[in-house]
Amino acid sequence: MTEPIHIGVTGATGRMGREVIAAATDRDDCAVAFAVNREPDGETVDGVAVEPAAEFGSLLTSREPDAVIDFTGPESATEYVQACADADAGGDTTTTAFVTGTTGFDDDQLAVLESAAESIPVLHAPNFARGVQALVNVVGDAVQNLPGYDVELVEAHHNAKRDAPSGTANRLLDEIEANGEFGDRTHGREGEAPREEDEIGVHAIRAGNITGEHEIILASNHEEVRLTHRAEDRGVFAVGAVDAAVWIAGAKAGNYDFVDVIDA
Ligand SMILES: NC(=O)C1=CN([C@@H]2O[C@H](COP(=O)(O)OP(=O)(O)OC[C@H]3O[C@@H](n4cnc5c(N)ncnc54)[C@H](OP(=O)(O)O)[C@@H]3O)[C@@H](O)[C@H]2O)C=CC1
Ligand SMILES: O=C(O)C1=N[C@H](C(=O)O)C[C@H](O)C1
């Protein structure tokens, strides 16, 4: 059997951090080198001690993880990726790849990811569910096959989600726009606001503990097609992220996508 890779986990006590640790400790090809969070209080997650995020840089050099898996927020994710690139520039540690599922990056933050990818492998994916990648693959065909149909996208998530629309919704919208002639994205609708023929309606629901749902509606006046993905639990994202970390460990510097992992 090949040696397991070692991962660092950020946001360890968050919804996804906990799932990542659970997924990683459940398999033989991966071991948790360390886990960090902003203000740990001596907590462990699945037997893994959660250490202070302030020690992230020194943990990189002392534990030498093959990859870090990050589900935090855009600000912290950019700090963590920069720390991985800086540790690599130090030259005396294993290169640590950075796998992030964090969403809501602005252009400047995306530029930090891009620049880190010049020295370390960076994989950023707004959704680590394989079913969502299948949805991304088919939505372009559907749009091409149904020119002139109204297109609306509805996504639903839990009430603590910070960004809207979701990262996945933005990825799907890019795919829709790349495959048809569309006008503006209309976010929600109220008052006297009849639909423009070429607009794409975008609707974000935030309620309860919804794990993540994305639906694209393509409709004429005579028929409709609905393409839906529903995540049943967060474990599906965690398994995909750990698959990505195992795949990217030891890769050369550059930008990678979850589709690279699926196609490998
Ligand atoms: N790509 C994918 O498949 C998926 C992506 N996501 C994305 O992952 C991200 C996290 O989601 P989720 O786990 O639900 O969020 P949570 O709020 O449950 O967890 C976020 C974690 O990150 C920590 N964190 C937040 N900001 C910082 C910071 N500035 N510095 C250090 N730590 C920080 C939080 O710590 P604290 O508790 O101290 O605030 C918390 O532990 C979101 O962007 C979400 O959209 C989610 C699911 C799937
Ligand atoms: O915040 C979440 O929960 C999720 N975020 C991701 C997104 O923004 O697309 C992926 C998934 O839908 C869950």
Pairing state between β 200-206 and 213-219: unpaired
Architecture (CATH level 2) of domain 130-230: 2-Layer Sandwich (3.30)
HSE-up of residue 248 (Cα within 13 Å, Cβ side): 34
Write down the pLDDT at residue 88. 87
pLDDT tops 80 at residue 124:
yes
Catalytic residue check, 214? no
- Quick: pLDDT tens for 52-69: 999 999 999 999 999 999
**Sign, CA torsion 94/84/116/130:** positive
CA of 162 to the centre of ligand 1 (A): 9
Please give the number of the atom of ligand 2 that sits closest to the Cα of 103.
Answer: 8
The residue ranges of every structural domain in the chain are 5-128+234-263, 130-230
Q: What is the mean pLDDT of residues 85-113?
A: 93
Class of domain 5-128+234-263 as given by CATH: alpha beta
Alpha-helical segments (H) within the chain: 15-25, 56-63, 74-90, 107-116, 130-145, 167-178, 235-248, 258-263
- Quick: pLDDT tens for 8-26: 999 999 999 999 999 999 9
Cα angle 88-20-116, degrees, rounded to a multiple of 5? 25
> Residue 154 has which token pair?
């509805």
Whether the Cβ atoms of residue 53 and residue 10 lie closer than 8 Å to each other: yes
How many other β-carbons are positioned within 10 Å of the β-carbon of residue 164? 18
Write down the pLDDT at residue 1. 64
By most ligand atoms within 8 Å of CB, the mutation choice from 157, 159, 239, 258 for ligand 2 is 157
CA of 166 to the centre of ligand 2 (A): 6
Helix (H), strand (E) at residue 30? strand 30-37
Give the pTM.
Answer: 0.97
